[in-house]
Chain A
Amino acid sequence: MNEDALHARLAAAVPGVGVLDSSVKDPFVVVEPGALVAALTFLRDDPACGMEMLHNVTAVERPEAMEVVYHVCSLSQHHSLTVKVRMPRPEGGTHDTWIPEVPSVAGVYASADWHEREQWDLLGVRFTGHPDLRRILLPPEWKGHPLRKDYVYPGEHGGIPLELDAVPLYERGSDEPPPEPHPPRPPGTPLVQPPAPFSSRPVAAGGRTAEPGAGGGEPH
């Protein structure tokens, strides 16, 4: 089934499923947070959908909202679908004050367990009902959620100074000329001298050769 058919089937069965947004390369469905568990359970259990695997869980912080993205796929039916939950940003919500909450789907797909822990760790999305929502990549005493756009690098952690500048690694003013492009290497010129073919590679003098009986001196 293509995304349109999958969406039609899902929307008919589960209330709270929004329209299919086909404006991007991979169309997605936006689902109400309250309908998320029902929607993913339907996608998994419905034989025509047959989404056996939750491939990926991600959160995306946008200026206006936090999106949690679920990529589900079916191995038997050869199709996949992107499901999103969108939580609008409250007035003046920063990474300190605004922790969006989404129901956990770890009970539907076991693979969501670690993915949700990672999104909590790095983006500060609380998955309610998660069996064990701890930090996964950062140390347990870490403060803040580094993938938030307004996150400020700490000056130190556990007494160790962290010398990270907050300047973006790649920035060029609009008045600066673009850098000279690297000329592509002409076809056929090797970057390094090609070594001898694999089967007849010489071995250090005095040692054994790759092919027994092909010469070589006495070992010391």
Chain B
Amino acid sequence: MEALELYTVDERDDLYTEELKLNLGPQHPSTHGVLRVELKMDGEIITASRCDIGYLHRCAEKIGENVSYLQFTPYTDRMDYLAACNNELAWSLAVEKLLGVEAPERAQWLRVIVCELNRIASHLIAFGTYGIDMGANTPFFYAFREREAVMALLERPSGARMLYNYVRPGGVAHDIDESWLSDVLAFCGEFEKRWAEYNQLLTTNRIFIGRTANVGVLPRDMALAWGCTGPVLRGSGVKWDLRRDVPYLWPYDEIEFDVPVGEGTHGTLGDCWDRYWVRMREMMESIRIIRQACARVPSGDFMDKAMVRMYKSPLKPGKGEVYMRCENPRGELGFYIVSDGGTSPLRCRARGPSFCNLSVLDALLPGCMIADGVAVIGSLDIVLGEVDR
């Protein structure tokens, strides 16, 4: 108490610093794309934040109203470009629901495999870039080594490395070659060993835990109110996964897998470390799903026969509207299609998970240190291509 009294009120007035307005981004590596955050700073503490998005707006919904249903599939790849298969799946399922078509059994299981492979690739980027955000450059290169393997696997049936256009309304675009499934299984075995390395590198690193535990705590009710989904919601302890709770592909109903949720292992429930750890464990759950799915891929058609006939002219679903939700690596992607009976939708709405997950940022940042702000943005794992569409 004695020491504190040395600072009189007058002397403290001299130490007063003006409120500083700081632009984080739009060209800043920690914002994972082109996101600008206006920050009001009191020293190193963030007192207010305001996100500015739209730098990557490409009018996807307007394009959707002007192209045919099939032509829009590759555009969905470019929303969340790190999880293209999952976006195609959501769009394909929405169109199938509108048309009343169901993909054949072989296509269903192939869809599960490619989507889970894509989920692993996407989470690997989240893992690698989060390490970079925290000042650990090495994990990024390890993550990209395994991601390269996933991309090589997905390239074989689809012909593309990132934007696959593989899952289409009615099934999948091409059949797999004979050795593909065994190569996928070989990858699974290899990946499990590598996953243990990641944890040694980053997950259990004391500095990393110090930077992420108790930082950016997102309570359960707040996550629900802001519409957060995916690992962000599960990091706050909500056991909700559309694959388990609303199986949009019936194979998910027949597969055994767990839904990892945050437990507050190193700090408060819903902190950055919890969100990170949910993603890490989801990769292993995806491996479990892939293993079971590979054993069950039946022979048969990979594309619905009626759909192939329909493709001879632009798809023309009758009047109607559907809302289809799918569990993407980043959360729930929803497509709302309103058809007036024409060859292109009257309204084609994409509800991106990154958009909603990012909207909570302005509520999370005040009170954080600026360095923790970077940790919070990274832990939300946004893709600006999907935020802006």
Beyond A26-B321, A185-B175, A194-B179, is A199–B190 a contact (Cβ under 8 Å)?
Answer: yes
**Number of contacts between A and B (CB, 8 Å)?**
151
Question: What chain B residues lie within 8 Å of A201 (beta carbons)?
Answer: 149
Name the one of B57, B240, B334, B338 contacting A60, with C-beta atoms under 8 angstroms.
Answer: B338
Name the one of B159, B336, B349 contacting A191, with C-beta atoms under 8 angstroms.
Answer: B159
Looking at the assembled complex, report how far the CB atom of A3 sits from the nearest CB atom of chain B, in whole angstroms: 12
Contact check, B178 vs A188: say whether CB atoms are below 8 A apart: yes
Q: A113 vs B66: C-alpha distance in the bound complex, in angstroms? A: 28
Contact check, A136 vs B53: say whether CB atoms are below 8 A apart: yes
Contact check, A147 vs B57: say whether CB atoms are below 8 A apart: no
Looking at the assembled complex, report how far the CB atom of A165 sits from the nearest CB atom of chain B, in whole angstroms: 11
Looking at the assembled complex, report how far the CB atom of B254 sits from the nearest CB atom of chain A, in whole angstroms: 19
9-residue interface stretch from B126-134, B206-214, B307-315: B307-315
Looking at the assembled complex, report how far the CB atom of A85 sits from the nearest CB atom of chain B, in whole angstroms: 15
For residue B297, CB closer than 8 A to chain A, the reply is no
Residue interface mask B339-360, A partner, CB < 8 A = 1: 0100110110101000110011
Question: What chain A residues lie within 8 Å of B347 (beta carbons)?
Answer: 58, 60-61, 147
Q: A82 vs B355: C-alpha distance in the bound complex, in angstroms? A: 20
Beyond A187-B175, A197-B183, is A53–B224 a contact (Cβ under 8 Å)?
Answer: yes
Main SS class of interface, A: loop
Q: A71 vs B334: C-alpha distance in the bound complex, in angstroms? A: 10
CB contacts under 8 Å to A, within B325-382, are 325, 332, 334, 336, 338, 340, 343-344, 346-347, 349, 351, 355-356, 359-360, 363
Q: A26 vs B351: C-alpha distance in the bound complex, in angstroms? A: 16
Contact check, A192 vs B336: say whether CB atoms are below 8 A apart: no
For residue B59, CB closer than 8 A to chain A, the reply is yes
Question: What chain A residues lie within 8 Å of B334 (beta carbons)?
Answer: 55-56, 71
Contact check, A170 vs B308: say whether CB atoms are below 8 A apart: no
Task: Find the residue from A110, A172, A188, A189 having the highest chain B CB count within 10 A.
Answer: A110
**Nearest A residue to B303, CB-CB:** A184
Contact check, A178 vs B313: say whether CB atoms are below 8 A apart: yes
For residue B140, CB closer than 8 A to chain A, the reply is no
CB contacts under 8 Å to B, within A66-120, are 69, 71, 75, 78, 82, 109-111, 113-114, 118
For residue B63, CB closer than 8 A to chain A, the reply is yes
Contact check, A146 vs B59: say whether CB atoms are below 8 A apart: yes
Looking at the assembled complex, report how far the CB atom of A80 sits from the nearest CB atom of chain B, in whole angstroms: 8
Question: What chain A residues lie within 8 Å of B252 (beta carbons)?
Answer: none
Contact check, B186 vs A199: say whether CB atoms are below 8 A apart: yes
Contact check, A194 vs B388: say whether CB atoms are below 8 A apart: no
Contact check, B311 vs A181: say whether CB atoms are below 8 A apart: yes
**Nearest A residue to B319, CB-CB:** A24
Looking at the assembled complex, report how far the CB atom of B355 sits from the nearest CB atom of chain A, in whole angstroms: 7
Q: A169 vs B71: C-alpha distance in the bound complex, in angstroms? A: 10
**Nearest B residue to A114, CB-CB:** B359
Name the one of B67, B183, B227 contacting A55, with C-beta atoms under 8 angstroms.
Answer: B227
Question: What chain A residues lie within 8 Å of B149 (beta carbons)?
Answer: 198, 201
Name the one of A169, A172, A190 contacting B66, with C-beta atoms under 8 angstroms.
Answer: A169
For residue B238, CB closer than 8 A to chain A, the reply is yes
Contact check, B187 vs A198: say whether CB atoms are below 8 A apart: yes
Question: What chain B residues lie within 8 Å of A189 (beta carbons)?
Answer: 175, 177
Name the one of A113, A168, A170, A194 contacting B177, with C-beta atoms under 8 angstroms.
Answer: A194
Name the one of A56, A186, A187 contacting B349, with C-beta atoms under 8 angstroms.
Answer: A56
For residue A36, CB closer than 8 A to chain B, the reply is no
Looking at the assembled complex, report how far the CB atom of B64 sits from the nearest CB atom of chain A, in whole angstroms: 10
Beyond A111-B225, A170-B71, is A192–B159 a contact (Cβ under 8 Å)?
Answer: yes
For residue A139, CB closer than 8 A to chain B, the reply is yes
For residue A220, CB closer than 8 A to chain B, the reply is no
Looking at the assembled complex, report how far the CB atom of A84 sits from the nearest CB atom of chain B, in whole angstroms: 10
Contact check, B186 vs A197: say whether CB atoms are below 8 A apart: yes
Beyond A24-B321, A56-B334, A60-B347, is A192–B156 a contact (Cβ under 8 Å)?
Answer: yes
**Nearest B residue to A61, CB-CB:** B347
For residue A122, CB closer than 8 A to chain B, the reply is yes
Q: A185 vs B301: C-alpha distance in the bound complex, in angstroms? A: 12
Q: A71 vs B337: C-alpha distance in the bound complex, in angstroms? A: 13
Contact check, B175 vs A82: say whether CB atoms are below 8 A apart: no
CB contacts under 8 Å to A, within B62-86, are 62-63, 65-68, 71
Question: What chain B residues lie within 8 Å of A194 (beta carbons)?
Answer: 156, 177, 179-180, 183
For residue A143, CB closer than 8 A to chain B, the reply is no
**Nearest A residue to B155, CB-CB:** A192
Beyond A25-B98, A55-B334, is A110–B226 a contact (Cβ under 8 Å)?
Answer: yes
Looking at the assembled complex, report how far the CB atom of A195 sits from the nearest CB atom of chain B, in whole angstroms: 6
Contact check, A109 vs B54: say whether CB atoms are below 8 A apart: no
Name the one of B187, B190, B323, B351 contacting A82, with C-beta atoms under 8 angstroms.
Answer: B323
For residue A137, CB closer than 8 A to chain B, the reply is yes
For residue B157, CB closer than 8 A to chain A, the reply is yes
Contact check, B323 vs A71: say whether CB atoms are below 8 A apart: yes
Task: Find the residue from A71, A111, A122 having the highest chain B CB count within 10 A.
Answer: A111
Name the one of A24, A60, A184 contacting B346, with C-beta atoms under 8 angstroms.
Answer: A60
- 19 further contact pairs, Cβ within 8 A, besides A82-B323, A185-B175, A199-B186: A54-B227, A55-B334, A55-B351, A58-B347, A61-B347, A71-B351, A78-B246, A110-B226, A137-B389, A147-B61, A147-B65, A169-B67, A169-B71, A170-B314, A170-B344, A188-B175, A191-B157, A197-B186, A201-B149
Give 15 pairs: A residue, B residue, CB < 8 Å, sorted on A: A25-B321, A60-B346, A61-B347, A110-B226, A111-B356, A137-B388, A146-B62, A147-B62, A188-B175, A191-B157, A191-B174, A194-B180, A195-B156, A197-B186, A199-B189
